Amino acid sequence: MNGVDLELARAHAPLFAVTIPLVGAALVLIAGSARLSWVVATVAALIAATVTADFAYRLLNHARPAVAELSIPLQVDGVGSFGAALVTGLSALAIVAVGAFLKDAGSRAAPFRLALLLCITAGWSGALLARDLAGVAVSVEVAWLAGVAVVTFHGARDRAALNGALRMLTLGGVASALTLLGVGLIGRAAGDLRLATLPIAHISMPGVASAGIAFVIVGLAVKATAAPVHAWAAAALGRGGAVAGLWVGAIGVVGALLVMTRLSAYAVAAPELGAGVSATLAVLGGASVVIGSVQAVGARTLPRLATYACISQAGCVLVAIALGSPAGFAAALVQLLALAAAALAMFGGAAVGRIRDLAMLDGFWQRAPLASVAITAGTLSLMGAPMTLGFLGRWRLIEAGVGVGWWWAPLLVIIASLAGVFYGGRLIERIYFRRANRTFEGEASPWRFAVAPSLICAILTIALGLAPAVLLRWSDAAAGMLTGAAT
Amino acid sequence: MPSDLAECLLVMGAIALLVAGAATALLAPNALKRLIGLGLATLGVLAALAALRSPEAVLVAGVTGLLGQFVIGVAITIRLQEEYGSIEAPEIDAADGGSEAQDAPQ
């Protein structure tokens, strides 16, 4: 490939971010065998991650990358590019980790599951790069239904996953209906569905537009496990197995929150919609912090605890978005990276040891030291412990909240961190200070090294907490390019 | 004005269908009834979108989503019947209740 071809390919990076996972999914189905399909899926995910990371790197360093004019309705902005790079990067790590659990639902099902995972990546990437609200709604639906199917596949190993999948389908289906209705109402009131024109649109019916954006936000909140509309989360993620934990619990939740961040950035800039959007997000965020924290303290299984802890962290993200300022959006992006890394570390570490109830963590350090390190780092980050990425995100939220006079935002951060000390301390005490009293059920084959992605996330959680300069620069740059500056 | 009134009435009727469908999807104990409720809710939204003169792309997105939900929902319902011998949520919840550590009461 010569330089001209390379530049042409780089100009089509937003298109490739969506199409490479989809082409990969088709090839995975053709590959047939479990291991070969895993190799194909890994290659596709790595290529997609490289392409989007390269594009985001150039955009966020103000290199003004060329973007090809296409008839496909895609649009590049700071949050979308940052988010697509985050989603595809996480997906590449998670695909590697999934290698250890490929045959959980049977060898014949492995290619189908891998294809669905790539569809989840394509769906969230598409929603983050879509030009209009219709594109966002379709992409989110693709990612969501693929997630439901992934949980359903785990029913072959644990039938309770089917119950979780049904709850996910019904609640998510109602949420999708609300989202579509919201899109229709916004289109009727603003006369246009393009995101870039929303801040400057002449909104003839502000009440209708406000109701529309509220429906869209609530519909997405269901998929982001925001309380109190998170009823599907414990059933689906608690019993959906390792693959669902990684892909729906980590990537799906982060993807939904990123899409909410992007849409809110455009909506907040519209004078008729800004106040309503902020109020809706603030209510959802506050409820998520309080309800998620209380439920995490009471959780008795590790997947449920990780789910509730992520809900609490998602609440902090929603509060940061609700601020509506560039500092708030930058804080949200830092917290989303922290959430993604912590979730992948915790769900991945738990999957390696096939941990379900918390008693299985007793003495886990002696049996699976690397997985223990991953779970510990993820837990510390969700607690907001100093020198972790979680602390950095919460500190940025406090700065941004105080900056606009929202004094209750630091209070929510303190609630989330105090609850984190309770449930996180309990996990760490079990892992390091108790004697093992159960047979180890974890992965013993060479595939146990699939814990590596969780370990990478654990290292990232600490390293970016200690040396955050680059991350802060990129998050500030992304927040400064919210409204399609790069189109 | 008459066309505005007609549009308003059509949208109100569609939203009533959406609410009825959503309530059925969320509250019905039977998995198949939940699916039917989900279908009604989405049909209500499609009717509202048509009344609001939404672009065709949005309507096509809604129909595609409905189809996808229905296919996966039927698959889940069949698997539930195979595994539990029932598609009633209370019976399924009761069967699952004994096989997992429950969270502490809040």
Quick: pLDDT tens for A119-146.
999 999 999 999 999 999 999 999 999 9
Contact check, Cβ <8 Å, A141/B61: yes
Task: Select the residue from B10, B96, B106 to test the A interface by mutation, using most A Cβ atoms within 10 A.
Answer: B96
Residue A486 located in a structural domain: no
The pLDDT tens digits along chain B (106 residues) read: 446 788 888 888 998 999 999 999 999 999 999 999 999 999 999 999 998 888 888 898 899 999 999 999 999 999 999 999 989 988 888 888 755 545 544 4
In-domain check, residue A1: no
Burial group, residue A196, by CB count within 10 angstroms (0-12, 13-18, 19+): middle
The tokens for A378 are 């993820």
**Contact yes or no for A419/A296 (Cβ under 8 A):** yes
Q: Tokens standing for A134?
A: 């219709």
What is the number of domains present in chain A?
1
Mean pLDDT, range A178-186, rounded to an integer: 93
Residue at A3 is within a domain: no
Strands (E), A33-119: none
Q: Which pLDDT score is estimated for A339? A: 92
CATH number at residue B14: 1.10.287.3510
Interface test with B, best of A163, A215, A356, A357 (most B CBs within 10 A): A163
**Domain range spanning residue B44?**
2-92
Q: In this predicted structure, what is the pLDDT of residue A198?
A: 87
For range A42-66, the mean pLDDT: 89
- What's the domain count of chain B? 1
Q: Is A485 part of a structural domain of the chain?
A: no
Please, what is the Cα angle at A71 between A68 and A77, to 5 degrees?
A: 55
In whole angstroms, give the CA distance from residue A230 to residue A228: 6
Q: What is the ipTM of this complex?
A: 0.91
* pLDDT for the residue numbered A397: 92
pLDDT digits (tens, 9 = 90+) for A187-208: 988 888 898 888 888 888 888 8
**Which residues form the domain of A470?**
10-480
Q: Which of B25, B92, B96 sits opposite A174 (nearest CB)?
A: B25
Residue A4 domain-assigned?
no
Contacts of A174 in chain B (CB under 8 A): 22, 25-26, 38, 41
Q: Give the minimum alpha-carbon distance from A78 to chain B in angstroms, rounded to a whole number.
A: 26
Q: Is the pLDDT of residue A486 over 50?
A: no
Alpha-carbon distance A88 to A102, whole Å? 20
DSSP A422-439: HHHHHHHHHHHHS---S-
